[in-house]
């Protein structure tokens, strides 16, 4: 499932032929050089390693500098692998750009969600909280009971409790590509994608 790397520019709206406003996220996607290939014989799986966003050579480690030099590409800020059925179809040093996509097709977008810090159960999970009436003392926003009694005498893993909110890998599926600007390397996707502005996103083709 090949895709492309990009940066989230922000959100805007475009209008359909019927005059209907469509909210879209603008992604500055590619061009992404093919830095390396993963093969079943050497690595045990097939994948394409893509780079994105040029970086100063002096800011790259020596092992990565050697990888970029062998590929004949400019050092990149980000590197990500895309699993494919057959990596032999790709060539090291080649380029992937937004022409890989077509308007109207569905894509999956992966990014890192905004970090909200430590949050309680009301903000994090939408708990209702305790009544704010007489007799309720300092438990208005608390989760209350968190475990069983003598058996099993523990709190089950995955229980919804206060903790860090956001700043995690999130994938939004089945977003529609509204428009493509090959000249400016822009991808317009209907709806919102995870992450803050200028954050890295991975746009996957489906199938």
The pTM score is: 0.85
Q: Which helix (H) or strand (E) holds 9?
A: strand 3-15
**What's the rounded mean pLDDT across residues 159-185?**
94
Distances (CA, A) of 85 to 48, 79, 100: 10, 20, 17
Q: How many residues does the chain have?
A: 207
Q: Is the pLDDT of residue 1 over 90?
A: no
Asked whether 50 and 4 are in contact (CB, 8 A), the reply is yes
Asked whether 96 and 30 are in contact (CB, 8 A), the reply is yes
User: What's the burial of 37, exposed, middle or buried (CB within 10 Å: 0-12/13-18/19+)?
Assistant: buried
Q: Is the pLDDT of residue 80 over 90?
A: yes
**What's the rounded mean pLDDT across residues 16-23?**
93
CATH number, domain 1-113+170-203, options 3.10.129.10, 2.40.30.10, 3.90.79.10, 3.30.1600.10: 2.40.30.10
Per-domain residue ranges for the chain? Answer: 1-113+170-203
**What's the rounded mean pLDDT across residues 2-21?**
94
Express each pLDDT in 110-169 by its tens digit: 999 999 999 999 999 999 988 888 888 888 999 888 877 888 888 888 899 999 999 999
**pLDDT at residue 136 in the model:** 86
């Amino acid at each position: 499932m090949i895709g492309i790397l990009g940066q989230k520019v922000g959100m805007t709206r475009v209008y359909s032929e019927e005059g209907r406003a469509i909210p879209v996220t603008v992604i500055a996607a590619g061009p992404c050089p093919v830095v390396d290939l993963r093969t079943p014989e050497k690595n045990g799986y097939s994948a394409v390693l893509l780079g994105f966003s040029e970086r100063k050579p002096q800011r790259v480690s020596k092992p990565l500098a050697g990888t970029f030099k062998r590929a004949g590409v400019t050092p990149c800020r980000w590197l990500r692998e895309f699993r494919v059925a057959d990596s032999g179809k790709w060539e090291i040093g080649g380029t992937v750009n937004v022409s890989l996509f077509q308007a109207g097709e569905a894509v999956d977008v992966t990014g890192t969600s905004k970090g909200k810090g430590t949050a309680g159960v009301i903000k994090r999970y939408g708990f209702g909280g305790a009544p704010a009436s007489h007799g309720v003392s300092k438990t208005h926003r608390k989760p209350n009971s968190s475990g069983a009694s003598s058996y099993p005498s523990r709190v089950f893993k995955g229980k919804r409790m206060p903790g860090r909110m956001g700043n995690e890998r999130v994938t939004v599926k089945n977003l529609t590509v509204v428009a493509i600007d090959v000249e400016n390397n822009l991808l317009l996707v209907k709806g919102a994608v995870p992450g803050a502005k200028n954050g890295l996103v991975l746009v996957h083709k489906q199938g």
